[in-house]
Amino acid sequence: MNSANDNPARNTKVMNRFDLTSRLIAKLKNEEAVIGGIGNTNFDLWAAGHRPQNFYMLGSMGLAFPIALGVALAQPDRRVFALEGDGSLLMQLGSLTTIATLAPKNLTMVVMDNGIYQITGAQPTPAAAVADIVAIAVASGLANSTWAADEDDFERLIEQSISAAGPTLIGVRIDDKPGTGTTRRDPVQIREHFMHGMGVREPL
Amino acid sequence: MSWHDIVLQTLKRNDIRLVPYVPDRVLTTLIKNLHADPFFTTFPAAREEEAVGIVSGAWMGGMRGAVLMQTSGFATLANVLASLAIPYQIPLIMFVSERGTLGEFNYGQSLVCRTMRPVLDSLAMEHHTATRLDEFEFIVDRSIKQAITTQAPVALILSPLLTGGKVFDK
Cβ within 8 Å, pair A75-B61: yes
Residue A203 lies in a domain: no
For residues A129 and A188, is the Cβ–Cβ distance under 8 A? no
What average pLDDT does the segment B136-152 reach?
98
Total tally of structural domains belonging to chain B:
1
Give the C-alpha separation, B169 to B153, whole Å. Answer: 35
Closest residue of B to A61, CA-based?
B80
Tell me the percentage of chain B whose pLDDT exceeds 90: 97
Q: Search chain B and give the residue with CA nearest A59.
A: B83
CATH code, domain carrying A173: 3.40.50.970
Instruction: Report how far apart, in Å, the C-alpha atoms of A28 and of each of A49, A107, A153 are.
Output: 12, 14, 17
User: Using the beta-carbon criterion (under 8 Å), do B62 and A200 form an inter-chain contact?
Assistant: yes
pLDDT at A7: 55
Q: How many CB pairs under 8 A join A and B?
A: 127
Contact B61 A69 (CB under 8 A): no
Instruction: Write down the mean pLDDT value for chain B.
Output: 97
Do the bridges between strand A123-124 and strand A116-117 make them parallel or antiparallel, or are there none, so unpaired? antiparallel
Task: Calculate ∠ Cα A74-A86-B74, nearest 5°.
Answer: 55
Point out the residue among A97, A98, A198 whose CB comes nearest to the CB of B61: A198
CATH of the domain at B126: 3.40.50.970
- In sign, the C-alpha dihedral spanning B65, B68, B73, B74 is positive
What are A147's strand-pairing partners?
A171
Query: Residue B166 — pLDDT band, cuts 50, 70, 90?
Result: confident
- State the smallest CA–CA distance between residue A181 and chain B in angstroms: 21
Residue range of the domain that includes B24: 3-161
Structural domain containing residue A73: 4-197
Put simply, the answer to whether B54 touches A188 (Cβ < 8 Å) is: no
CA-closest candidate to residue A111, choices A75, A62, A59: A62
Between CA B126 and CA B145 the distance in angstroms is 12
Q: Decide if B166 is inside a domain.
A: no
Across the range B7-22, mean pLDDT stands at: 98
A133 by DSSP, 3-state: which? helix
pLDDT band at A2 (very low <50, low <70, confident <90, very high): very low
What does the pLDDT average to over B25-41? 98
Which residues in chain B have Cβ-Cβ distances shorter than 8 Å to A195?
60, 62
For residue A204, tell me if it sits in a domain. no
CA A10 to chain centre: 19
B111-126 average pLDDT score: 98
Residues B62 and B146 sit within 8 Å (Cβ to Cβ): no
Q: Rounded CA gap, A114 and A118, in Å?
A: 8
Contact by Cβ (8 Å): A137, A169: yes
pLDDT band at B169; cut points 50, 70, 90 = low
Distance from CA of A74 to the nearest CA of B (A): 5
Q: Is the residue at A37 inside a domain? A: yes
Number of domains forming the structure of chain A: 1
Phi and psi at residue B77, to the nearest 5°: -100, -5
Q: Does residue A202 lie in a domain region?
A: no
pLDDT at A9: 54
Residue A174 gets which letter from DSSP? Answer: B
Residues of chain B positioned with their CB less than 8 A from the CB of A66: 45, 50-54, 57
pLDDT tens digits, A130-180: 999 999 999 999 999 999 999 999 999 999 999 999 999 999 999 999 999
Asked if residue A11 has pLDDT above 60, the reply is: yes
Q: Cβ B46–A35 below 8 Å, yes or no? A: no
The answer, yes or no, to whether residue A116 has pLDDT greater than 60, is yes
pLDDT above 90 coverage of chain A, percent: 94
Tell me the C-alpha distance between B136 and B138, whole Å. 5
Residue B107 lies in a domain: yes
Of A66, A74, A198, the CB nearest to B53: A66
Angle CA A6–A138–A61, to nearest 5: 70
- ipTM comes to 0.97
In our burial notation (b when 16+ CB lie closer than 10 A, e otherwise), range B113-127 reads beebeebbeeeebeb
- Binned at pLDDT 50, 70 and 90, residue A124 comes out as very high
Q: What is the DSSP track for B68-129?
A: EEEHHHHTT-HHHIIIIITTTT---EEEEE--SSSS---HHHHHHHHHHHHHHHHTT-EEEE
| Amino acid present at A200 | V
Q: Is the pLDDT of residue B128 over 90?
A: yes
pLDDT band at A6 (very low <50, low <70, confident <90, very high): low
User: CA of B152, closest CA in chain A: separation in Å?
Assistant: 12
Instruction: Name beta bridge partners: B156.
Output: B95, B128
- In chain A, which residues have their Cβ closer than 8 Å to the Cβ of B60? 55, 67, 70-71, 74, 191, 194-195, 198, 200
Residue A109 parent element (H or E) = strand A107-113
- State the nearest Cα–Cα gap between B134 and chain A, in angstroms: 34
CA pair distance B99, A144, nearest whole angstrom: 40
Average pLDDT over residues B14-21: 98
